[in-house]
Amino acid sequence: MRGAQLGRFCAQVLQKHKFVPFACHSIQLSYLKASPLALLCSLQHLGCRLTGTSSSGQSEANVSHGSSKTDTNEASQKLLETLATSQVEPERPADSDLLKLGKVADPFLDMGLSPAQITHLFSLQPYAPPQLRLAVVSELLLLGLSTDATLNVLQKSPELLGMSSKHIKDRADLLRRLAFKEVGLNHMAVHFPRIFTLPQKRIEVVENLLKEKCLFSVQQISKILQTCPNILLEELGDVEYKFQFAYFRMGIKHREIVNSGFFQASLAEIKNRVIFLERLGLFQTPDKKGQTQVVNPKLKSIIRASESDFIEKMACSSLEEYNIFKKLLTREEERRRKEEEAAEKNDLSDSESDGEGSDSD
């Protein structure tokens, strides 16, 4: 029950049992707005007064008022039990924790964070200094992130609270140099906050690989990093081989590679699907002029279709046949790998033998 409802209920009980003066005197308007706990204390005090009044009048009208006294005590006891079992709203933890922070929380309140957001912020990396937290939050907000987005970023990568604001600013400047607009920068911060924790050298190495060996433009590199940021965590050799497979094996140009989200898919799944279509006569590597005898499906359709759609609609085959093919292809590649290793060992031994022969001469 709310405080106002309890007050009205108490007044009705007291009026019913002929205690109108007590109802008017003790159930004040201020108690109608008070918490249930305060109202309970007031009614306990009122119950004592009611009991004392009934006791003093017992000698004058013991018989006539006996039943009234019993009813009053029962009603008062019932009322007190009801109030005791009523739910009292607890104090909000966010507010109590905010009071513990004191003036430390004032700058965060000025930046638009709510008390709940501030207490959640200070629960991340508890030993980080308040000034460092303030600097990191300020830099993220300057990137155009909302307060909710900023907290999500810090929750995904709480180690950011241990970095300087200069580090975050420098990383944002690096992304801008890679043709990141504000929207793309915000997208990267929210969906891949690890971009701020990776070493700058790692980002520059991937950039050089895509620019110099794969010949992507700066704008294309920016889109690749935005759509597939995990490329920053992959082995450089795997990234280069994946591009070579699309460009030379499939005959796909740079623009289609970027727009299809090619780097989001795994190389193993791409190879399985392309070679499976090739064995079925549904895909063909273009010649030097870019011509094919069959109409190849678009790269986007190959890599983004679900496995069931790829098998049924694109390959017109069955799941059992596709699974058997993948096992056979794995064996073929394993056998080819062993043959290549054996050939390399033979070439090495032959070169060593030639070197020993020249020394003896």
In angstroms, what CA-CA distances link 296 with 38, 277, 309? 79, 9, 17
Residue 296, C-beta contacts closer than 8 angstroms, at least 6 positions apart: 250, 251, 283, 284, 286
Taking the C-alpha atoms of residue 163 and residue 158, their distance in angstroms, rounded to an integer, is 10
Q: Give the pLDDT of the chain (361 residues) as one tens digit per residue.
A: 445 555 555 555 555 544 444 444 444 444 444 444 444 444 444 454 444 444 444 444 443 444 445 555 565 555 455 544 544 444 444 455 566 667 788 888 888 898 888 888 988 988 888 899 999 999 999 999 999 999 999 999 999 998 998 999 999 999 999 999 988 999 999 999 999 999 999 999 999 999 999 999 999 999 999 999 999 999 999 999 999 999 999 999 999 999 999 999 999 999 999 999 999 999 999 998 889 999 999 999 999 999 999 999 999 999 999 999 999 999 999 999 998 888 888 877 766 666 665 555 5
CB atoms within 10 A of CB 216: 21
Q: What global pTM score does this model have?
A: 0.66
Taking the C-alpha atoms of residue 247 and residue 254, their distance in angstroms, rounded to an integer, is 8
* AA letter at 89: E
Domain boundaries, the chain: 3-57+64-85, 113-197
- Read off the tokens for 129: 């200094």
* AA letter at 295: V
